[in-house]
């Protein structure tokens, strides 16, 4: 039951508040039922079924006043507690989720659509928050008020009480029968909504490319198809939910008809007074309305529970295993020892097979090979985006799985092709490399990375905003900012996915000058896309189909027949 799921999710001080909020809501509904008891007493006075006097009138008036006062007090306390506990708990929950995401293997995000992940983290969590702050307490009230009114009905006349209650389980049964298709449609709607979010993000992010290649119509067609599917599923869901609610309401109201008939026969037989019959009819109207409302909320909460399920699935994603007793490497040499690796989604074909080589400390190793050879996978394994399937990757003699993640991240800097910049100032984007860096340190890193000149040319210099994703900067400027980050971090291991083919000669020269400063004295792995950029590497590892096929210097490899010489010849590049 969703209420139990909510209580299980609540922890610490929030758990007590959630339970207290529910108790306040029950108190509010009890007080809401008190005036009906006073009304029954008043009807008995009017119909002469009880002594009539000022004392009785004052007593009934006081009872109504007490009920209304209690309803107000419990209502205020309940709402305050529900909102404080709900928003407080979900605020903490968001921090917990962000902490969990930060501890997931980075490879987890490789196979996640950005739109689907954003939907789960933002919209689905918001829906769960609504569950805590509003819906659950409304359901609690919707069932406790009929409970108290049902007790009053039984006190008035047990036969009418049973007649009124008899339709409730039937209404539940009808609602349950209609829920199968509703839940299937709900699950589909959640999935389609996540897909639409992904399509929208993809379309917006790629709009320049789409328009540049004249694909606006084609790409919009796929987005339109997703939106049409979302519309059809949403309409079908509302119709299915509406039919279930209507059928349930009809069955529920049949209890009122049964109550009228049972009460009429009892009154005609002299077993029931007019005051009791009239009171039972009034109570019956108040009995069914909150049940109908609660059952409608249950339909909504069934849909919300799918959001809760998606959030829980994300929270259940396995974190990167951390060693119980982490070890610290003695140096920064990197060894691949018979490493094999396959992606779960890649089928039977391994990404790496029995890969063995060593990156000596303080040297530069270049990975070359055709597309799909496994070069990026090697870099990802060093950064522990994934754990190896077999074999081991070691830094300073320590298996990465025996190192604390923080220690690994402290030792490694990554300069990737796809530079991610935040919608912040230039200085703060560089300071990602070391959050406590002074302004002088930031400027020094920018100078070494050949960034200072173009940064100073910006209207606000280092305090200039660069837009989402660095929208106001060129590709070469973004890459040099990435090097500035790495320089500021000053990690002993550098992983570079080198791609300068798209840069103009001036930017390329500045990039290589900046990288030369960054690589000095460090253990460097370069994923090379153009062979002439790595001819001076201390070691070149040639890969093909996930295997190491050659290892050596440029001179050694060019002098021997093999894949490297073939690639060099095919590129038709003269030896520098």
69 occurs within a structural domain: yes
The pLDDT of residue 244 is above 90: no
CB 489 within 8 A of CB 413: yes
Q: Which domain holds residue 36?
A: 2-315
Query: What pLDDT was estimated at residue 478?
Result: 84
CATH of the domain at 543: 3.40.50.300
- Pair (280, 342) in one structural domain: no
Query: What pLDDT was estimated at residue 304?
Result: 72
- Pair (23, 72) in one structural domain: yes
CATH of the domain at 116: 1.20.1560.10
Residues 522, 331: Cα–Cα separation, whole Å: 11
163-167, 382-386, 474-478, range with the lowest pLDDT: 474-478
The distance between the two most distant Cα atoms of the chain, rounded to a whole number of Å, is 118
- Pair (251, 370) in one structural domain: no
**pLDDT tens, residue by residue, 201-222:** 767 666 665 655 555 555 567 7
Q: How does residue 7 score in pLDDT terms, banded at 50, 70 and 90?
A: low
Average pLDDT on 47-75 reads 78
The pTM of the full predicted model, rounded to 2 decimals, is: 0.66
- Pair (267, 350) in one structural domain: no
Structure tokens at 117: 């992940």
- Pair (33, 80) in one structural domain: yes
CB 381 within 8 A of CB 388: yes
- Structural domains of the chain, count: 2
- Pair (285, 433) in one structural domain: no
- Pair (119, 216) in one structural domain: yes
Residues 298, 301: Cα–Cα separation, whole Å: 5
> Residue 32 half-sphere exposure, CB side, CA atoms within 13 Å?
22
238 occurs within a structural domain: yes
Residues 213, 207: Cα–Cα separation, whole Å: 10
Instruction: Name the H helices within 412-456.
Output: 426-430, 439-448, 452-456
- Pair (9, 87) in one structural domain: yes
Q: How does residue 312 score in pLDDT terms, banded at 50, 70 and 90?
A: confident
Burial of 428: CB neighbours in 10 Å, binned 0-12, 13-18, 19+: middle
- Pair (403, 544) in one structural domain: yes
CA distances from 491 to 275, 433, 434, 486, 495 (A): 86, 9, 10, 7, 10
Query: What pLDDT was estimated at residue 576?
Result: 46
- Pair (430, 346) in one structural domain: yes
323 occurs within a structural domain: no
CA distances from 450 to 175, 362, 440, 477 (A): 68, 23, 15, 9
84 occurs within a structural domain: yes
137-146, 187-196, 550-559, range with the lowest pLDDT: 187-196
The pLDDT of residue 399 is above 60: yes
322 occurs within a structural domain: no
326 occurs within a structural domain: no
Residues 75, 21: Cα–Cα separation, whole Å: 10
Q: Which of 315, 350, 375 is the endpoint of a domain?
A: 315
576 occurs within a structural domain: no
Residues 358, 333: Cα–Cα separation, whole Å: 7
Q: Which of 315, 346, 363 is the endpoint of a domain?
A: 315
- Pair (353, 305) in one structural domain: no
Nearest residue to 412 (alpha-carbon basis) of 324, 514, 321, 522: 522
Average pLDDT on 358-364 reads 93
Structure tokens at 36: 């009906």
Query: What pLDDT was estimated at residue 2?
Result: 54
Q: How does residue 262 score in pLDDT terms, banded at 50, 70 and 90?
A: confident
Average pLDDT on 329-355 reads 85
- Pair (450, 348) in one structural domain: yes
38-42, 49-53, 340-344, range with the lowest pLDDT: 49-53
Q: Which of 286, 315, 344 is the endpoint of a domain?
A: 315
Of residues 479 and 378, more confidently modeled: 378
Query: What pLDDT was estimated at residue 327?
Result: 92
121-135, 381-395, 430-444, 459-473, range with the lowest pLDDT: 121-135
348 occurs within a structural domain: yes
Residues 404, 326: Cα–Cα separation, whole Å: 6
Average pLDDT on 272-286 reads 82
Sign of CA dihedral 557, 563, 569, 573: negative
For the chain, the average pLDDT equals 80
The pLDDT of residue 268 is above 80: yes
């Amino acid at each position: 039951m969703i209420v139990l799921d909510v209580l299980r999710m609540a922890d610490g001080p929030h758990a007590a508040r959630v339970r207290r909020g529910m108790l306040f809501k029950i108190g509010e509904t009890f007080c809401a039922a008190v005036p009906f008891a006073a009304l029954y007493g008043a009807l008995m006075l009017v119909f002469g079924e009880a002594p009539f006097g000022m004392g009785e009138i004052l007593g009934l008036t006081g009872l109504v006043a007490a009920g209304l006062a209690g309803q107000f007090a419990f209502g205020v306390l309940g709402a305050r507690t529900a909102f404080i506990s709900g928003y407080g708990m979900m605020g903490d929950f968001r921090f917990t989720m962000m902490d969990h995401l930060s501890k997931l293997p980075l490879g987890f995000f490789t196979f996640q659509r950005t739109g689907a992940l954003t939907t789960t983290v933002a919209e689905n969590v918001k829906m769960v928050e609504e569950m805590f702050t509003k819906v659950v307490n409304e359901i609690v009230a919707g069932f406790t008020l009929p409970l108290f009114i049902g007790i009053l009905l039984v006190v008035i006349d047990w036969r009418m009480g049973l007649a009124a209650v008899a339709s409730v389980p039937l209404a539940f049964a009808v609602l349950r029968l209609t829920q199968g298709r509703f839940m299937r449609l709900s699950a589909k709607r959640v999935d389609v909504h996540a897909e639409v979010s992904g399509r929208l993000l993809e379309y917006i992010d790629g709009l320049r490319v789409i328009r540049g290649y004249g694909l606006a119509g084609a790409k919009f067609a796929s987005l339109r198809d997703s939106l049409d599917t979302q519309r059809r599923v949403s309409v079908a869901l509302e119709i299915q939910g509406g039919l279930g609610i209507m059928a349930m309401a009809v069955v529920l109201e049949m209890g009122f008809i049964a109550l009228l008939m049972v009460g009429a026969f009892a009154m005609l037989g002299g077993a029931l007074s007019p005051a009791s019959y009239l009171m039972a009819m009034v109570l019956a109207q108040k009995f069914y309305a909150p049940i109908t409302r609660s059952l409608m909320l249950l339909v909504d909460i069934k849909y919300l529970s799918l959001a809760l399920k998606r959030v829980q699935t994300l929270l259940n994603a396995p974190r990167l295993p951390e060693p119980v007793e982490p070890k610290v490497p003695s140096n920064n040499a990197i060894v691949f020892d018979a490493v094999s690796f396959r992606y779960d989604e890649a089928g039977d074909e391994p990404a790496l097979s029995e890969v063995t080589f060593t990156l000596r400390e303080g040297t530069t190793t270049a990975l070359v090979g055709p597309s799909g050879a496994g070069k990026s996978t090697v870099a990802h394994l060093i950064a522990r985006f994934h754990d190896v399937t077999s074999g081991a990757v070691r830094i300073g003699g320590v298996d990465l799985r025996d190192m604390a993640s923080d220690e690994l991240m402290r030792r490694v800097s990554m300069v990737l092709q796809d530079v991610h910049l935040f919608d912040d100032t230039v200085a703060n984007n560089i300071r990602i490399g070391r959050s406590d860096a002074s302004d002088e340190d930031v400027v020094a890193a920018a100078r070494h990375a050949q960034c200072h000149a173009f940064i100073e040319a910006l209207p606000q210099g280092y305090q200039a905003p660069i837009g989402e994703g660095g929208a106001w900067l060129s590709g070469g400027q973004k890459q040099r900012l990435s090097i500035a980050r790495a320089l500021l971090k000053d990690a002993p291991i550098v992983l570079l996915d080198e791609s300068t083919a798209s840069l103009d000669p001036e930017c390329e020269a500045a990039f290589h000058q900046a990288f030369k400063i960054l690589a000095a004295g460090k253990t460097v792995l370069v994923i090379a896309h153009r062979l002439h950029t790595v001819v001076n590497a201390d070691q070149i590892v040639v890969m093909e189909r996930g295997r190491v096929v050659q290892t050596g210097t440029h001179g050694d490899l060019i002098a021997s027949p093999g894949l490297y010489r073939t690639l060099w010849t095919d590129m038709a590049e003269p030896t520098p």
